[in-house]
Amino acid sequence: MKSIKLRYWIISAISVFSVFISCKKDIAVTSVSLDKDIIILSVGSTETLKVEVLPTNSDIKSVTFESSNPNFATVSSSGLVTAISIGQTIIEVRTNDGGKTARCTIIVVSRGVWTQKADFPGGYRWDAVTFSIGNKGYIGTGYSRHGDWIETYYEDFWEYDPIENIWTQKADFAGGKRVYAIGFSIGNKGYIGTGSDSWWADGNYFRDFWEYDPVSNIWTQKANLRDGRWNYFSFSIGNIGYVGQSDYKSYNNFWGYDPNSNIWTKKADFAGIERGETVSFSISNKGYIGTGRSYGYCRNDFWEYDQISNIWTQKADFAGGARTSSSGFSIGEKGYIGAGCFFDGKSEQFFEYKDFWEYDPVYNIWTQKEDFSGGSREIALSFSIGNKGYIGAGINSRNSMKDFWEFNP
């Protein structure tokens, strides 16, 4: 009798458990998303898309990836996107439960090409002024050190013709020898000013400002800046030149120069941390500044200045990481930053770089391009002419350099 009752309870328990199991419903997928809507990749580069399936406790979270045009970019089962050729495709992820989808547009661009050009004939040089006027580039002033710490400061001024690949020495800068000066061009004139008579922080700071006319090959002194400084950043937008702060005196102010009135006007203070050894350039009616060093630390933040609204806006951090003494320029509607070094004053870590990156202000995206073929270096000289960019000279931990390179994006 006891055995019959035991079997009865066992059968009843199994029956109840079976009913419970049969009544349990699977937790269905309700949505899927990707971490990015748009990715810009250079040919040969890769990036992994991150997927989020909701709810997080859904029973079947597996997905399938597909590229709408694998001739431009492919995608693996794990979401690894590989750029194949220049063009555009869409990567779609689809859940195996419910067929929920999400998409990411992949834009594949050229890696760019570096070509070595005629060496800079002014010798080893860094922390000089550069700009371009029309179809010519210009380099002047600066500093070099060689041998047993023999220091040389310069006032010479050189013109580069990219068509002939020839350097021509022009009239010396009329303000005299200096380092860490600023420079830009407006229309058919170039401008140089500020700086110091010493590469070290204890030098005398200048506040004079000069205009260069390439037709007459003559320098003319213009209105001085209010303060004498070194290690400014500068760029020009339209018919106005802009000059900003230096970290060595904790300045953060920002000025605009109008060559027609020969007047400096105070603008909105730079909104980031004051710094030196930055990269700056302009694209259309916006100015940009990023990277640099302040208070012993390298920076990777990147800022946009709107000339019309007089407002600074922080943009996507420079994707190459924190660094200082990099090189940069703009070509068309894109900006470029590369090379430089990283130094941490606390840990005393030091690295030099040769990587090179493109910034797209429309998408606010950084894309890695072909590494600088001249090798790792810092405080090199750079400018752009037309649809080409140029970087040369500078130093690395082993050598001073005077080679000169052209970048075709």
Structure confidence at residue 164 as a pLDDT band (50, 70, 90): very high
According to the model, what pLDDT value does residue 136 have?
98
Distance of CA 202 to the CA centre of its chain: 30
Tokens representing 374? 């001249």
According to the model, what pLDDT value does residue 19 have?
43
**From CA 59, how far away is CA 2, in angstroms rounded?**
43
Tell me which CATH code domain 113-408 carries: 2.120.10.80
The two counts, helices (H) then strands (E), for the chain are 1, 39
**Regarding beta strands 293-294 and 263-267, do their DSSP bridges make them parallel or antiparallel, or are they unpaired?**
unpaired
**pLDDT at residue 150 tops 80:** yes
According to the model, what pLDDT value does residue 345 have?
67
**From CA 86, how far away is CA 30, in angstroms rounded?**
35
Q: Pick the most confident of 40-44, 196-200, 273-277.
A: 40-44
Strand (E) positions, 163-310? 166-170, 182-186, 189-193, 209-213, 218-222, 233-237, 240-244, 254-258, 263-267, 279-283, 286-290, 293-294, 297-298, 302-306
Tell me which CATH code domain 31-109 carries: 2.60.40.1080
According to the model, what pLDDT value does residue 295 have?
80
Respond yes or no on whether the N-terminal peptide bond of residue 214 is cis (omega within 30° of 0).
Answer: no
**pLDDT at residue 7 tops 90:** no
Contacts of residue 237, Cβ cutoff 8 Å, sequence gap at least 6: 282, 285, 286, 287, 307
**From CA 269, how far away is CA 273, in angstroms rounded?**
10
Query: Taking residues 135-143, what's their average pLDDT?
Result: 97
Residues paired with 267 in a beta bridge: 254
| Cβ pair 335, 302 in contact under 8 A | no
According to the model, what pLDDT value does residue 248 have?
54
The DSSP secondary-structure symbol of 118 reads: P
**pLDDT at residue 60 tops 70:** yes
| Cβ pair 221, 270 in contact under 8 A | no
Tokens representing 241? 């030149």
Lowest-confidence pick of 45-49, 70-74, 176-180, 348-352: 348-352
Lowest-confidence pick of 276-290, 339-353, 394-408: 339-353
Residue with tokens 């063009």: 87
The amino acid at residue 277 is: E
Residues paired with 342 in a beta bridge: 351
**pLDDT at residue 246 tops 90:** no
Residues paired with 17 in a beta bridge: none
According to the model, what pLDDT value does residue 247 have?
56
Instruction: List C-alpha distances in Å: 367 to 84, 334, 350, 358.
Output: 15, 11, 24, 5
Structure confidence at residue 197 as a pLDDT band (50, 70, 90): very high
Helix, strand, coil fractions of the chain, as percent rounded to 5: 5, 50, 45
- What is the residue extent of each domain of the chain? 31-109, 113-408
According to the model, what pLDDT value does residue 146 have?
75
**pLDDT at residue 362 tops 50:** yes
**pLDDT at residue 9 tops 90:** no
Query: Taking residues 67-80, what's their average pLDDT?
Result: 98
Structure confidence at residue 245 as a pLDDT band (50, 70, 90): confident
Query: Taking residues 249-267, what's their average pLDDT?
Result: 90
Predicted TM-score of the model (pTM):
0.91
Residue with tokens 């089962």: 77
Contacts of residue 118, Cβ cutoff 8 Å, sequence gap at least 6: 165, 166, 167, 404
Q: What is the mean pLDDT of the chain?
A: 91
> Residue 297, CB half-sphere, CA atoms under 13 Å: how many?
7
Does residue 353 sit in helix, strand or coil?
Answer: coil
What number of residues does the chain have? Answer: 409
| Cβ pair 95, 29 in contact under 8 A | yes
Instruction: List C-alpha distances in Å: 333 to 105, 286, 317, 360, 364.
Output: 20, 10, 18, 7, 12
Query: Taking residues 280-297, what's their average pLDDT?
Result: 93
**pLDDT at residue 155 tops 80:** yes
**From CA 192, how far away is CA 225, in angstroms rounded?**
11
Structure confidence at residue 8 as a pLDDT band (50, 70, 90): very low
Lowest-confidence pick of 15-29, 140-154, 160-174: 15-29
**From CA 366, how far away is CA 41, in angstroms rounded?**
9
Lowest-confidence pick of 136-150, 172-186, 261-275: 136-150
| Cβ pair 195, 240 in contact under 8 A | no
